[in-house]
Chain A
């Protein structure tokens, strides 16, 4: 192999490795079964429980879904894949006790592809929330919450 070809091959391999490392790892980040996740039925029990503190529920998806149906008491932050949503989440999070139970959820699209939930989780984790849980909605809020018959509220 000639030297220019070798150089090109080496650059190509380095670029390939670098790309592999910088590519989003949605499937490996918060995979189903992670301890940070909370299942819908577990959250329902926590909300309905008469003992213990109630979780702060933060919704980090699009407004159009929230307006149609959301978990009663959940606060609208907006899609955290967008700067406006992330800013709103940061501001709200600052006013919350960092050792309290906070549950974030989205459910805009299938779990592995949700563009909002991971940025929101990592931001709150970075801010030092110690009891932070993420509602696991495998398919969507519609399929894994509304269709299961769990209670919802409408509007803003």
Chain B
């Protein structure tokens, strides 16, 4: 009889734990948050005030909610310029889903940069970089360097050297699919 009581008590405790876990899981589900531990721990992207080639000033904090690709590049850097058409294509493909690409040029002569921008018909803002901007991103010590920032404003990936666009696009798609409320 005593043994039976113990079994019933153990079952009750197990059921209780199951109910609590289930309830928590259901609550999380209603918020549609799909943040993995890795994503939550990712560093926040710097909040900067940038001015693009057209003279338009914008704050990177205004891009929260979008997936932002920040590409450090230069018009004098051959592997960088070779990548620009692909960045243009990706911006066109995913813009409606919330992708915003930003090009930050390093050590370009103003005329060369504007000429390249016009010639390639770049469809995303390009900003002349500075040491401050580079350091805000943790230091840029080689081109090209590309950051993928999630909708939560956190740096989810950093790609250095010639960009592996299969990796970049996969990450962009994953970040676009993630919703943060």
Contact = CB atoms under 8 A, between A and B. Distances in A.
A63 B108 CA distance: 11
Contacts of B130: 64
Contacts, number: 70
Interface in B92-148: 106-107, 129-131, 134-135, 139-145
Interface residues of A, number: 21
Interface stretch (A14-22, A91-99, A141-149): A141-149
B107 A62 contact: yes
Contact of B129 (A64, A69, A115, A139): A64
Contacts of B142: 65, 107-109, 139-143
Interface residues of B, number: 23
Contacts of A143: 141-142, 160-161
Contacts of A63: 107
Interface in A35-75: 62-65, 67-69
A79 B143 CA distance: 14
Contacts of A113: 77-79
Interface of A: 62-65, 67-69, 79, 81, 107-110, 113, 115, 139-143, 146
Interface of B: 74, 76-80, 106-107, 129-131, 134-135, 139-145, 160-162
5 contacts: A62-B106, A108-B143, A109-B78, A139-B142, A140-B160
